[in-house]
Chains A and B, each alone.
Chain A
Amino acid sequence: MSALDLSGFADQKDLTAEIDDTRDALVLSMGPQHPSTHGVLRVMLRLDGETVISADPEIGFLHTGIEKQAENLFWQQAVTVVDRADYLAPLSNSLCYVLAAERLLGIDNIPPRAQVLRVMFTELTRIASHLVQLGTHAMDLGAQSIFMYAFEMRERILEIMEFVTGARMHQSWFRIGGLAIDVPKGFLAKIDDFIGRFPERLSDMRAILEKNVIIMDRLVGVGKMSAQEAIEWGMTGPILRASGVPYDVRKAYPYSGYETYDFDICTHTFGDSYARFVVRLDEMYQAWRIIKQAREKFPNGPVTIDDRKILAPPKTEIQHSMEALIHHFKLVSSGFNVPEGHVYQAVESPRGELGMYVTSAGGNKPWRVRWRPPSFYNLQALKKLAPGNLVADVVAIIGSLDPVFGEVDR
């Protein structure tokens, strides 16, 4: 962490003391149609002048019933709907679901190539998601160009995603038992190009933002949360780490071979919006390191397990083999059964600990896919963080909490 002199910002404000709650408050409904509530959050603000007395987040405007939909699809098909919850990090969602299903099925022999690609692509997703957060957060603070720069950087990642999976946003590329398809020819050149260019772009971004006086003025000391409070409020991800708690699911409960990668947990001590912003910048660099290591490993071999009861055989085989055709028909028409049981699987999504409690009743559809969306838990902190700040700070705090409403409302 760079040793910045922040003493000048320390006494920035303590407006809480000045609030006179006996006066008539202006009740302001911020959202659900508001440029800075990142989708469809509604915050009921009570204001004294421009100072917030209380803020009540209201959610549910983007409820799509994803959990329920997953119960009505075959195990394999549900991958497509879970993708759509956190629409900025779809691969993290599908990874979580796929890992849970694999644990229920007892599959522990995912080929190394598939493991490496899963890690590589969830880390690419993490960078893309943090870039969106960075861009929209900067735009909320009034810096429009940063938004464009961040989206341009994200575009390079989406190009790789599109090249490999055919989709830019909802890739649905992970399958129970491996990956949908192997990477096409020319992928390595693209990823090498990305690995080569990204650090410079990231340090450019840091140079514009990290010590920008206005950015620091807007973020330092705003929405401060101590480590104890962050734990009590159930924060995870960059918000928890910005308060100084080094908890990362990738280190604490490694999955997909994360224990074999060398990366740091990025923490900060301030616990304010600025700390969260810096932690996310640092995490992008760490994600880049993981991608680089994954590229160095990059083993050859299959990308799926060899189990015809779970994954359909290749098309060429279906055209020649009766057995293969039957397997294919069975999988498409009735899926596969998963042994009875329940499992909690957590992954580190860009927003924090994404957990899924998946229950199987032994059938070909999940009985229940219960989510622990990190945004949902992180967002509730708004109620605690906003009072005493100005309206402009509420925008900054929402941005730094980085909620994604597909995930909050499911």
Chain B
Amino acid sequence: MNPTLALLITTAIKAGVLIFIVVTSFAYLMLFERKLLAWFQLRVGPIWCGPWGLLQPAADAVKLVLKEDLTPATADPFIYKIAPALAVLTALMAYAIIPFGTFPDGTPISIANPNVGILFLLAMSAVGVYGIALGGWSSQSKWPLLGAVRSTAQLISYELAMGLSIVGVLILAGTTDLHGIVSAQSAHHVWYVIPQIVAFVIYGITATAETNRAPFDLPEAETELVAGFHTEYSSLRFGTFFVAEYVNMITVSAIGTLLFLGGGDGPFVSVVPWLSILWFLVKVAFLLFIFIWLRATLPRLRYDRLMAFGWKVLLPVAALNLLVTAAFVALRGHGT
């Protein structure tokens, strides 16, 4: 067989499997969140659909699909319809390069392993803003417009601090290849969360803002903007935005794990290489738990304070952290 064709076919199969896994994990992340929120709030959460509410995601999906898909008469139909697709597409694209673990022979378990992986991720998350901004804008309605404006401003300003916090890790690892960063951490026997704790905290905060999660859920801000940018959306298009948000949550948790928590690194990995997948998933789940924990605990920030916090606190601190890291590496001649 033609090697190019073979590559195309295997990649397509891998991508199909991955999308299936990601979308399923999204569905159960939703259940995970609902259960956890319920426990935080002295409730029991979904219990009626299937044992322990395990079929709740399926019930939700059916409900969403069966709803009428409405397009406001004044909306720009093309952009209105393309926006949710854009949001979910960029969210899923990011998965192409995430190494979920390593095969016993040391190659990463991922669809592609470009040497500028982290840049690709940042690019995807930046393009993802368009989904929200265009969706809110094309709805031709006032609440979504406010939501879209908020989200554009928020995502642009938080992207900067996020980028700076990641650069610190890149300097330490000396590579922009995600698999390389993970290998560097296990080679140095230190997860970058320790030398880069400041960057980790900044990454955590900006990642929360990037994914529009509480306490930075201003573009949605249910109690202020009704439902923010997706107020006018219904049925599957609404569901698509939903998928995008949760998939993004998993993405930023996965990146956080790769950059700061050593990826699949953990006890017994050298003995049983397949354990790296388990460790990776456990760490991602832990970060996801923190997302939900934050949502259950914190009130929402106000828009102007959020911007001030991003520009006046996070950005300078991230820049300072970067300078210190760079100076440290320059003086020692190598990372860690």
Which residues of A approach B to under 8 Å, CB–CB? 13, 26, 28, 34-36, 50, 138-145, 147-149, 152, 212, 214-215, 217-218, 390-393, 395
Contacts and interface: CB of A to CB of B under 8 A. Distances in A.
Given A50-B146, A142-B217, A145-B296, A35 B301 contact: no
A391 B225 CA distance: 9
Contact of B223 (A50, A140, A148): A140
Interface of B: 37, 40-43, 142-143, 146, 150, 214-215, 217, 221-226, 295-305
Contacts of B226: 34-35
Contact of B142 (A26, A393, A395): A26
7 contacts: A13-B304, A142-B217, A142-B221, A144-B37, A145-B40, A218-B299, A218-B300
A215 B41 CA distance: 19
Given A34-B226, A143-B299, A391 B305 contact: no
A403 to B, nearest CB: 16
Contact of A35 (B37, B142, B222): B222
Contacts of B297: 143, 145
Query: Which among B143, B214, B223 has the greatest number of chain A C-beta atoms within 10 A?
Result: B223
A272 to B, nearest CB: 14
A142 B142 contact: no
Nearest to B41: A148
Nearest to A222: B302
A217 B42 contact: no
Q: Among the interface residues A142, A148, A392, A393, which one has the most CB atoms of the partner chain B within 10 A? A: A142
B303 A142 contact: no
Contacts of A13: 304
A44 B259 CA distance: 48
Contacts of B221: 142, 392
A145 B217 CA distance: 16
Contact of A36 (B41, B143, B223): B223
**Chain B binding surface SS class:** helix
Contacts of A392: 221, 224, 300, 302-303
Contacts of B223: 35-36, 139-142, 395
Contacts of A393: 302
Given A35-B223, A149-B41, A214-B215, A144 B301 contact: no
Given A140-B223, A144-B37, A215-B299, A149 B214 contact: no
What are the 4 tightest A-B residue pairs by CB atom distance, in nearest-first order? A142-B300, A148-B41, A143-B299, A141-B299
Nearest to A396: B302
Given A142-B214, A391-B224, A214 B43 contact: no
A395 B224 contact: yes
Contacts of B222: 35
B33 to A, nearest CB: 12
A141 B298 CA distance: 9
B300 A390 contact: no
Given A141-B299, A143-B297, 6 more contacts: A13-B304, A142-B215, A142-B221, A144-B296, A148-B43, A390-B302
Contacts of A143: 297-300
Nearest to A15: B304
B298 A148 contact: no
A218 B242 CA distance: 27
Contacts of B301: 214, 217-218
A142 B298 contact: yes
A138 B42 contact: no
Among B142, B143, B299, find the residue whose CB has the most chain A CB atoms closer than 10 A. Answer: B299
A152 B146 CA distance: 34
Given A13-B304, A50-B146, A393-B302, A144 B41 contact: yes
Contacts of B143: 28
B304 A390 contact: yes
A147 B224 CA distance: 16
Contacts of B296: 144-145
Contacts of A147: 41
B42 A142 contact: no
Contacts of A139: 223
Contacts of B299: 138, 141-143, 212, 214-215, 218
A143 B221 CA distance: 11
A322 B295 CA distance: 67
Nearest to B309: A217
B224 A28 contact: no
A28 B304 CA distance: 19
Contacts of B42: 148-149, 152
A391 B37 contact: no
A215 to B, nearest CB: 6
A218 B301 CA distance: 7
A309 to B, nearest CB: 50
A267 to B, nearest CB: 25
B221 to A, nearest CB: 7
Nearest to A35: B223
A217 B224 contact: no
Contacts of A141: 223, 299-300
Nearest to A147: B41
B300 A214 contact: yes
Contacts of A138: 299
A12 B303 CA distance: 13
Nearest to A34: B226
A218 B41 contact: no
B294 to A, nearest CB: 11
A136 to B, nearest CB: 9
Nearest to A27: B142
Count chain A CB atoms within 10 A of each CB in B37, B295, B300 and give the residue with the most: B300
A192 B138 CA distance: 59
A28 B142 CA distance: 7
Given A35-B222, A144-B37, A391-B225, A214 B298 contact: yes
A155 to B, nearest CB: 10
A228 B91 CA distance: 55
B136 to A, nearest CB: 14
B300 A217 contact: no
